[in-house]
Structure 1
Amino acid sequence: MAHPPDRTAHETVAHPPDRTAHSTEPHRPNQTAYSTEPHPHDWTAYRPDEHHPHQSAHGTEPHHPNRTAHGTQAQHPDRTAHGTETQHPDQTAHGTHAQHPDQTAHGTHAQHPDQTAHGTHAQHPDQTAHGTHAQHPTRTTYEPADLAHDWARSGVLPLTGHAAGPPLLPPGAAATFAARLGGLAGVDGALLLAERAALSGGGRRGRVSVGGSCRLLPTRDGWAAVSDARPDDHLLWGAAIGGDVALLPSWLAAHTGAQLDERVELLGLAGGAVRPAPGRGCPLPGPPRDVRGMLVVDFSALWAGPLCAHLLGLAGAEVVKVETPDRPDGARRSNADFYDLLHSGHASVVLDPSEPRDRVALHALVRRADVVIEASRPRALAGFGLDARAEAERGCTWISITAFGRSSYRVGFGDDVAASRGLLAADAEGRPVFVGDAVADPLTGLLAAALALSEQPSEQPKGTVWDVSMADVVTTTLAVPPLAAEVVRAGDRWFLDTGTAAPWPVTPPVPRRPSTAAPASGADTSAVLRRLGIR
């Protein structure tokens, strides 16, 4: 298991700013006064007085035209977009906190955004687990010093705000949430939130995402995030508005967020109205278990799922990445260092489920797995002849990552999912800007890994299907009181000042480096199948 980075190594500053006299930048309005209950900056109620110029969204890597939205790179066929998984920042590795007494346990169907968070007990293997030992997110406490420290060192602030303006402080507790989850896998989770940008060199771009594939645009009754990352998205957005896609900003300005959401779901587009759902929560980890020697079969792509697999590999599990011949992980075409970082040391298997021999091998591989990670809609898995609940019944831990839950048909990327749930900062004019780089992805990947690293719930002596919704992970991180702090400047350095202690230096994204290159697609197919006695 890798050792966590020195949390103090990024904070040494010779001369922190004197809050009373020496800041060369005037104090900005409190950028941290955010809460999802209610959100102080109600993006859904804001009525813009002017239209924003059309900005083209260019994903850093084009998606396959038939792929569902997941991020800036192409996703595995038919899979929805997600992010990474994380434990609640204030929950211990043993997950002993009970849920709010007014909550009830739910089955495989996702709740409406206005409903309360999921039940505290994971369900029978035939059901989807939503909240083992989960504490109601609004009842979790956070120390302001931890929130400020973790945000300042996470690398997220330099990615938040306008390129020509100061870094901005996001709402919520995402950095602390990530830090505590990462501790379960021996990494500093806060630093993982910005490491893709650290390796790619991306920076803050205001209402355009760091990767360039998502935009924030005003609607008639608020704001919306729209992603245009896949080759077909341009045409699909045109179909959604019944005209040239260049007219999308004016169409949004004349229509409500609800009208947009209806069309987005119908056409399989990634995006939607900014609509916080403060009552929801996500499943949280239980007591830790040893995964050394366990077989992890990873069907996921892009960032969230592969991050989960990467962390399990660091903990000693054997990871086998499975792709299909016509649709490899689109992240292979993106930043090579980032792909190598998440896949170094894993085996690569390519199987074609449309070929009977490969289909038999695929089923045999899944039956041997202790943990399966996927980012597919259940009907896509059924097309491969795979049944998550049947595998859980035999004792497998099944990690299912989706944008809005297994029962939802909506898809999404890390940027638009985070924005749609209200993880946005406010600029000097009070208008929303993106927070970090697709932060819903690494948050979800961290949580997924923490769940896989947890013992099976006592209510489920066999296996578990974990329904890990990116949207619910984001919502959980926002259920905290406002943090009284502001970003100030001293010389050429930025600091996060809470007014109660020495200001925290705002550090840039810190990359980890891959130890070795990831294997070529399918390089280990024969060896893995032979070693496992499959063929």
Structure 2
Amino acid sequence: MSDHPALAWRRAGLMEVTGHRAGDPLVFPADLTGAADRMIDALRLMAPDRCCLPQSGAALLGERARLLCLERNGRQSANGSCHLFRAKGGWIAVNLARPDDMDMMPAWLQQEAGSQEQIAAAIAVQDPCKLEARGREMGLPVACPGTPADMPADRLPPTRYGNKDEARRPPLVVDLSTLWAGPLAGSLLAMMGADVVKVESQGRPDAARSGNAAFFDLLNAAKKSISLDFSTISGRDALLKLIEAADIVIESARPRALEQLGIFAEQILQKHPGKVWLAISAYGRQGAAANWVGFGDDAAMAAGSGWAMHSAWQEMLFAGDAIADPLAGLSGACAAWQSWRQGGGELLSVSLAGTIATILRDDEPAGDRTRAEQWQALAIADTEPLYPLRDAPCRAAPVGQDTHAVMSALLASAC
């Protein structure tokens, strides 16, 4: 059973990353924690061994912030990379998460902007909608705060490519994803009994490896590690063989990233009935949105998290720590496992923004000030300890540790 949303938000450590640093920690005025708990419950109902799964979905939403000792920053995300800037007639979230993002600011803003002060001054006199459109064309993770109604559902109806009889053996999962949402989905499938192989590029391994080791271990400890050189024909051939052998594929890149390697999800699903393809992205795989870049904080802002905070607290603020990431990971794991059990043959699209928007739409009073104040009082008065942090069962495998063993076994089985 879930704790009350206000109590769960506090006990997950999320109040410490919501609100202004000099002000009171705040609850989020919608039931995100209950949604996380319900998704863990759904996995538990399907699990061969329920004891292997986390006890609390809500706790997953706050564990990175607690491991990294993050603090609330108001209009700057807890991890420091995403900023809310006031524009001419509105706001825009700008996530400078990658080394090259700052270098692109002058071209995006069409004037010199080498510091946060210069960026803020340039944005203040420009139309946020035009900035958003230009930024997305350039591949920048930018988003104007939206409402839940602005986003499509978190999962479009899956495209079916022919299934198999209900699966009985543990599935092979090829996890091509990076950072948080996709790796979390993969780790949950490993807890469900799947054999999960993490595949990384030799040139660009998962950037999360250079982050907090304890958090990386939580998401990747139960996986074998393969490293391939995607710039070579042999590396691309090996990747294709892995994908063709998989029961479930997890990827978190824009579609064109794999297409540039000659890998097309739809073609593979047509050729191999029963496979499940889980595509986790910022805004889905439909139309222009398929190529928009986004991370957990800016995608949540686009989907309505800032709207909810403003409705409740009269301020546009970030809530939690990249909150769309763990929720999309949970949603993706549920969808992939259910699809595999039912015979697969599906392309599943789960988006960070759509996941948040769907939860907010389902919680009809989201953002209600009276309810928010009641929840805030409950949370402030709560004295129960925070949820216990998980321990990884072991260290994550070094990059590429299992490449030879996995590929040799794959070739042997093909013969």
Question: What is the aligned counterpart of 2:327 among 440, 443, 461?
Answer: 443
Deviation at 1:278? 1.1
Q: Map 1:132-151 to 2 at 5 A.
A: 146-151=4-9
Kindly provide the CA deviation profile for residues 150-182 of structure 1, in whole angstroms up to 9, marking residues without a partner as x: 334332222100112111121322111111102
> What residue number does 2:37 align with?
179
Say yes or no: does 1:466 pair with 2:338: no
Say yes or no: does 1:202 pair with 2:202: no
Over 3 Å counting, the alpha-carbon distance change for 1:266 and 1:221 in structure 2 is same
- Aligned partners of 2:388 and 2:208: how far apart in 1? 20
Amino acid at match of 2:379: L
Report the secondary structure of 1:278's partner residue: helix
Greater RCO, CA 8 A, separation 6+: 1
Amino acid at match of 2:94: V
Kindly provide the CA deviation profile for residues 479-506 of structure 1, in whole angstroms up to 9, marking residues without a partner as x: 12325143789xxxx8427xxxxx6557
Deviation at 1:467? 1.0
Question: What is the aligned counterpart of 1:163 among 7, 18, 21?
Answer: 21
Between the two proteins, the alignment pairs up a number of residues equal to: 380
> What residue number does 1:377 align with?
254
Structure 2 runs not aligned, ≥5 long: 44-52, 159-165
Kindly provide the CA deviation profile for residues 86-106 of structure 1, in whole angstroms up to 9, marking residues without a partner as x: xxxxxxxxxxxxxxxxxxxxx
Say yes or no: does 1:232 pair with 2:90: no
TM-score relative to the length of structure 2: 0.85
Q: Map 1:251-330 to 2 at 5 A.
A: 251-278=122-149, 280-283=152-155, 293-330=170-207
Structure 1 runs not aligned, ≥5 long: 1-5, 9-145, 498-502
> What residue number does 1:220 align with?
88
Over 3 Å counting, the alpha-carbon distance change for 1:232 and 1:160 in structure 2 is same
- Aligned partners of 2:387 and 2:124: how far apart in 1? 35
- Aligned partners of 1:170 and 1:511: how far apart in 2? 21
Q: Map 1:390-429 to 2 at 5 A.
A: 390-393=267-270, 394=272, 395-407=274-286, 408=289, 409-424=291-306, 425-426=309-310
Report the secondary structure of 1:161's partner residue: coil
Over 3 Å counting, the alpha-carbon distance change for 1:277 and 1:301 in structure 2 is same
Say yes or no: does 1:244 pair with 2:112: yes
Kindly provide the CA deviation profile for residues 435-458 of structure 1, in whole angstroms up to 9, marking residues without a partner as x: 000001001100000101113698
> What residue number does 1:341 align with?
218
Kindly provide the CA deviation profile for residues 171-203 of structure 1, in whole angstroms up to 9, marking residues without a partner as x: 322111111102233332111001101111111
Report the secondary structure of 1:418's partner residue: helix
Report the secondary structure of 1:486's partner residue: helix
> What residue number does 1:353 align with?
230
- Aligned partners of 2:41 and 2:104: how far apart in 1? 41
Deviation at 1:411? 0.4
Over 3 Å counting, the alpha-carbon distance change for 1:155 and 1:213 in structure 2 is same
- Aligned partners of 1:428 and 1:211: how far apart in 2? 23
Note if contact 1:305-1:373 (Cα within 8 Å) is conserved in structure 2.
yes
Report the secondary structure of 1:453's partner residue: helix
- Large movers: runs of 4+ above 6 Å: none
Over 3 Å counting, the alpha-carbon distance change for 1:335 and 1:285 in structure 2 is farther
> Which of the two has greater helix per residue?
2
Note if contact 2:278-2:348 (Cα within 8 Å) is conserved in structure 1.
yes
TM-score relative to the length of structure 1: 0.66
> What residue number does 1:133 align with?
none
Q: Map 1:90-169 to 2 at 5 A.
A: 146-169=4-27
